[in-house]
Structure 1
Amino acid sequence: MSNSFTTQRDKTVSILSLHLICRRCNRYCKDDIPNFVNTVVQWNVQNLNIDLSNSLFPTFVLTTKSLSVLKLKRLLLDDFPSVDLPSLKFLRLESVTFTHYSYIIDILSACPVLEELEAKDLTVKKNYRVHRDCPGTYVTGLFNLVRANISGRHVSYDCLNNAEHLQLHVTVPCELHKMFQNLTYIELALDFLPRLGFFKWNWVMNLLPKSPKLQTLIIDEPPKLGASICKIYHAKFKSTKHHDNSGCQIRRVRCKDPNVQ
């Protein structure tokens, strides 16, 4: 497949974008897909969107220096020797399974010019607690990050501290150690387990003083089981220096949840 593709293409023209969706991979395409992707990568592809339905991911993609947009969905990242994505500005990880938590750290740390990050429904097979001060246990280098949309607990919020716009689906009260100096807008979906509900508002109040430029705070509390009303808190900060009752206006909106009959 890749040989015929190479033969028919004009070698002077780069490939700008490739969207590859494979719902069912069998033994016949097990080798064809990596070979095809490898061929495309050699043509300096800039935008790559891969959905392989929980199949092993061709890891050489993670050293493609021409990539500016990478979207991965329903993939298994088992092992890769190195990561180098010097041109990547947009990264989306959806329903991706990692063998080790350190693989997430390695990928994010290899994107020095990343501007936008989306992560949803990530799974880690061998998850373990690590001390944040140990080398290689935290993400470094996301200095250009502008926007992030994160669902779940496998991406540390501290690595998002340079962002201006955040959307977070929070399920556990993760520790916050860094200042969010550039943050002006944040949208929180607080979906804590009942046993952790006590920490919900303490976590929010811990975030506010770490965000000196915050202008807009939206908090969405999903409805409890069997309820049809969800709560949305919308705060507009008048002052960027203080986060007290005189510096913001908080509006509570009661709305019908479309997912509840």
Structure 2
Amino acid sequence: MANDRISTLPDEALYHILSFLPTQMAAATSILSKRWTPLWLSVPSLFFDDQSYLRNHKPYLYFTKFIYATILDRDVPIRMFRLQCEASSSDLSGSDLKIWIKAAIQRGLENLYILLPPIPNVFRPNLSSCIFCCKTLVVLKLVGLNVDEFSSVDLPSLKTLHFHNVVFQEPHYFLDLLAGCPILEYMHLTHVYYIYADAVDYIPSDRNFGSLSKLVRAEIHSIDFDTFVESLGIDKYLEDIPIFPSLTHLELMWWGCKMNWPLVLSMLKQCPMLQNFVLNMETSTDFDDVVWISPPVVPECLSSQLRKCSMTNYEGTKSELNFAEYVMQNSRALQTMTISTRCSSELMVDKLELFEKLSSCPRSSRICELSFT
């Protein structure tokens, strides 16, 4: 029988198979034979999903009790802890979450995924502050959580940071978090917000961002950019943006505020090895177009490294045209320049004229191809 053949596999192979299953399903394998009972109890990856409990209309207390029994009764390492909930966040106790995370940290946690309903303006449990001093943590992904006050950050092993619909009490908490990740390689931010109350006044001006020297890829989408810009001091002190010496891919979404081209150029200036730049311009139509001013010094990435540049939600404003021309005129290694316009009848009429303007623009790179989508 197929089950018999699977049971003959070595323990390492069975651990690998079980690690892909929700822990409730892994526990159910114990009915197959005595061989499986100790196996699921020793799997280093725990994945808790409340869907089966909700689908069967079981009290939510059964779900939390199962998590307690699974975590607290095991002495083996917990390398991965994944909690995925579809129920309202109010069904999940913040104190329970803190106990589970602390128990996982004590067992050598490396990968933490807390995925709660990403619904704004609802109850959100606070993340346990102990996670920010977990020396073994490599991957941290949070969805639908609050990050409350913490005293310090020490994440010497963290390489991947992924936040979606996460709320920080103050902007400097997020900055403190970044400063405590010395080998961070990948950062993905979508819908990150702040409960903002003059918090910028509490941000020290001598903050050291040398710890981000390993960052290779950054995607910043739908962040509360007005606050983000202010909290970093970028509007007032453009030279304070940290240098990202290893960053090769940057995706930046400009969300709902007036376009700030000096900031965009300053960020490019601080990414000398950047090869792929994506600028998504989700700006509000309530703002007038800004005046384009070419910087006196061309960013190093444009002059020698940039291979691909994409501008999405292009509206055809004069400053957008100026920026696209500036990139093509100064990027000697540029291979593709992609312009994606919004799908409206008015823009479609102007698309040919826009293409003709950019097509006639001088290009530093002989192999640069201009693409409209």
The answer to whether 1:186 aligns with 2:277 is: yes
Contact kept? 1:46, 1:69, Cα under 8 Å: yes
Describe the shift of the 1:115–1:207 C-alpha distance in structure 2 as closer, same or farther (beyond 3 A): farther
Distance 1:196 1:130 in 2: 29
Q: How far did 1:164 drift? A: 1.3
Q: Deviations over 1:100-122 (max 9, x none)?
A: 11011000000001111111111
Q: Deviations over 1:74-103 (max 9, x none)?
A: 111121111111100000111111111101
Match of 1:115 among 170, 179, 185: 185
Higher mean displacement: 189-198 or 80-89 = 189-198
Q: Deviations over 1:102-159 (max 9, x none)?
A: 01100000000111111111111115456998223x6441011111111232276934
Contact kept? 1:106, 1:139, Cα under 8 Å: no
Q: What count of residue pairs does the alignment treat as equivalent?
A: 239
Distance 1:3 1:51 in 2: 18
Partner residue, 2:110? 46
- Which structure has more helix as a fraction of its residues? 2
Partner residue, 1:61? 131
Amino acid aligned to 1:126:
Y
Could you tell me the percent identity over the aligned residues? 23
- The structure with the larger Rg is 2
| 3-state SS in 2 of match to 1:56 | coil
Distance 2:204 2:90 in 1: 43
Describe the shift of the 1:198–1:251 C-alpha distance in structure 2 as closer, same or farther (beyond 3 A): farther
Partner residue, 1:230? none
| 3-state SS in 2 of match to 1:121 | strand
| 3-state SS in 1 of match to 2:144 | strand
Q: How far did 1:58 drift? A: 1.5
Distance 1:81 1:190 in 2: 36
The answer to whether 1:161 aligns with 2:244 is: yes
Distance 2:149 2:99 in 1: 18
Match of 2:299 among 209, 215, 221: 209
Amino acid aligned to 1:218:
C
Structure-2-length-normalised TM-score? 0.55
Distance 2:365 2:114 in 1: 46
Partner residue, 2:371? 253
Distance 1:14 1:65 in 2: 15
Amino acid aligned to 2:108:
N
Distance 2:135 2:184 in 1: 13
Distance 1:132 1:249 in 2: 45
The answer to whether 1:4 aligns with 2:69 is: yes
Distance 1:132 1:31 in 2: 29
Distance 2:270 2:125 in 1: 38
Contact kept? 2:172, 2:202, Cα under 8 Å: no
Partner residue, 1:258? none
The answer to whether 1:197 aligns with 2:289 is: yes
Structure-1-length-normalised TM-score? 0.76
Q: How far did 1:237 drift? A: 4.6
Q: How far did 1:182 drift? A: 1.6
Q: How far did 1:30 drift? A: 3.6
Distance 2:70 2:188 in 1: 32
Higher mean displacement: 114-123 or 188-197 = 188-197
| 3-state SS in 2 of match to 1:150 | strand
Describe the shift of the 1:251–1:112 C-alpha distance in structure 2 as closer, same or farther (beyond 3 A): same
Distance 1:132 1:208 in 2: 30
Contact kept? 2:126, 2:145, Cα under 8 Å: yes
Partner residue, 1:229? none
RMSD: 3.3
Contact kept? 2:145, 2:167, Cα under 8 Å: yes
| 3-state SS in 2 of match to 1:188 | strand
The answer to whether 1:126 aligns with 2:196 is: yes
Describe the shift of the 1:70–1:30 C-alpha distance in structure 2 as closer, same or farther (beyond 3 A): closer
Distance 1:24 1:239 in 2: 50
Contact kept? 1:86, 1:111, Cα under 8 Å: yes
Describe the shift of the 1:132–1:237 C-alpha distance in structure 2 as closer, same or farther (beyond 3 A): farther
Partner residue, 2:313? 222
Amino acid aligned to 2:88:
R
Partner residue, 1:16? 79
